[in-house]
Amino acid sequence: MRCERGTFAVLEAYPQAGACELGTALLVPGYTGSKEDFLSVLAALADGDRRVIAVDLRGQYQTPGPDDPAAYDLAELGADVAALADATGTTHLLGHSFGGLVARAAVLADEGALAATGQLASITLMSSGPGPLTGARAKDLDSFLGAIGDISDPGELRAKVSEIWHRSLKPQAIASGVTAPVVEFLQDRMLASNPTGLVTMARQLLAADDRTADLAARGVPVFVLYGEDDNAWATDIQEDMALRLGARRACIPGAAHSPAVEAPATTVHALTDFWDATEGITATAVIATS
Domain map (residue ranges) of the chain: 2-134+206-278
Nearest Cα to 274, choosing from 265, 285, 263?
Answer: 285
What is the per-residue pLDDT across 195-254, written as a single tens digit (0 to 9) for each?
999 999 999 999 999 999 999 999 999 999 999 999 999 999 999 999 999 999 999 999
Region 154-179: mean pLDDT is: 96
Query: 16 versus 28: which is more confidently predicted?
Result: 28
**Mean per-residue pLDDT of the chain:** 93
- Residue 281 confidence class, pLDDT cut points 50, 70, 90: low
Alpha-carbon 111 to chain mean position = 22
What is the per-residue pLDDT across 97-139, written as a single tens digit (0 to 9) for each?
999 999 999 999 987 788 888 889 999 999 999 999 988 899 9
Q: Residue 75 carries which DSSP code?
A: H
Please state whether beta strands 6-7 and 2-3 pair in parallel, antiparallel, or not at all (unpaired).
antiparallel
- Residue 145 pLDDT exceeds 50: yes
Quickly list DSSP for 97-149. THHHHHHHHHHHHHHHHHHHTS---EEEEES--SSS--HHHHHHHHHHHHHHT
Say how far apart CA 176 and CA 129 lie, in whole Å: 26
- Residue 289 pLDDT exceeds 60: no
E-state strands within 163-247 = 222-227
- Residue 20 pLDDT exceeds 90: no
Query: How distant, in Å, are the alpha carbons of 28, 233, 285 from that of 268?
Result: 16, 21, 13
Nearest Cα to 227, choosing from 262, 269, 270, 275?
Answer: 262
Say how far apart CA 238 and CA 126 lie, in whole Å: 9
pLDDT value at position 288?
Answer: 41
- Residue 287 confidence class, pLDDT cut points 50, 70, 90: very low
- Residue 67 pLDDT exceeds 80: yes
pLDDT value at position 150?
Answer: 94
Say how far apart CA 200 and CA 196 lie, in whole Å: 6
Say how far apart CA 70 and CA 89 lie, in whole Å: 27
The CATH code of the domain at 2-134+206-278 is: 3.40.50.1820
Contacts of 29 (CB under 8 A, 6+ apart): 35, 37, 38, 54, 55, 56, 57, 60, 96, 97, 99
Say how far apart CA 239 and CA 246 lie, in whole Å: 10
SS3 90: strand
Q: How many CB atoms lie within 10 A of CB 71?
A: 17
Percent of the chain with pLDDT over 70: 97
Q: How many CB atoms lie within 10 A of CB 66?
A: 14
Instruction: Label residue 65 left, alpha or beta by phi (over 0 means left) and psi (-120 to 50 means alpha).
Output: beta
- Residue 286 pLDDT exceeds 60: no
